[in-house]
C-alpha cells in the first residue's frame, strides 16, 4: 500500500484518467466535490454509478467494466463492505491503482488488488492529498 508522500505524489502525477466509483450527482456530496476538484485540476474524470446518467456534464457508466477508456486510477466512494467487487472490476479492466477514500477500510480488497499488481491507497482523500502534495495547500 502506498503511504509515503513521495509515493502518493508519484501516483497523482502519473495519473491522467480517474474513474470515480459511487459518484453522486448532488454537489454537496463529497464524491461530487472531489471529482469536480480533480476535473478542475486537469484529470479526466469517468463517473461510475448505476443510478446516474450524467454527472459533471459527463456520461455516467453503470460499472467499471462498461467504461470504454483506459483507467489509471479507481477512486472509490463506497462502503467498506462493498469494495471487493469494485476491486475485481478494477483488476478486470486493467486499472493501475485503487484509491479508497477516507473511512473506507477494506484490507482484504486492498490485498486482492495488490496481489493483482495494482497500487493501492486506503483511508485517504484524493482531493486532500492532491492539494497538500501538488498545489502546496
Q: Are 19 and 118 in contact (CB under 8 A)?
A: no
Q: Are 71 and 15 in contact (CB under 8 A)?
A: no
CATH number of the domain that residue 129 is part of: 3.40.50.720
Query: Residue 57's domain spans which residues?
Result: 5-134
Count of positions (residues) in the chain: 137
Instruction: Give the integer Cα–Cα distance in Å for 86 and 104.
Output: 13
List, for residues 64-76, the tens digit of each pLDDT value. Answer: 999 999 999 999 9
pTM comes to 0.96
Query: Which residue ranges of the chain lie beneath pLDDT 50?
Result: none
Q: Say how many domains are in the chain.
A: 1
Instruction: Give the integer Cα–Cα distance in Å for 97 and 12.
Output: 10
pLDDT for the residue numbered 136: 76
Amino acid at each position: 500500500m502506498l503511504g509515503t508522500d513521495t509515493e502518493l505524489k508519484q501516483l497523482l502525477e502519473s495519473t491522467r484518467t480517474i474513474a470515480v466509483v459511487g459518484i453522486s450527482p448532488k454537489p454537496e456530496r463529497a464524491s461530487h466535490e472531489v471529482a469536480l476538484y480533480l476535473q478542475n485540476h486537469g484529470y479526466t474524470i469517468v463517473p461510475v454509478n448505476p443510478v446516474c446518467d450524467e454527472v459533471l456534464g459527463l456520461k455516467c457508466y453503470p460499472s467499471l467494466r462498461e467504461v470504454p477508456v483506459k483507467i489509471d486510477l479507481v477512486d472509490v466512494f463506497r462502503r467498506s463492505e462493498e469494495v471487493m467487487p469494485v476491486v475485481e472490476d478494477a483488476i478486470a479492466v486493467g486499472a493501475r491503482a485503487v484509491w479508497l477514500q477516507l473511512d473506507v477500510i477494506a484490507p482484504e480488497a486492498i490485498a486482492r488488488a495488490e496481489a493483482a499488481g495494482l497500487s493501492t491507497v486506503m483511508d485517504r482523500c484524493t482531493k486532500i492529498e492532491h492539494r497538500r502534495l501538488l498545489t502546496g495547500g
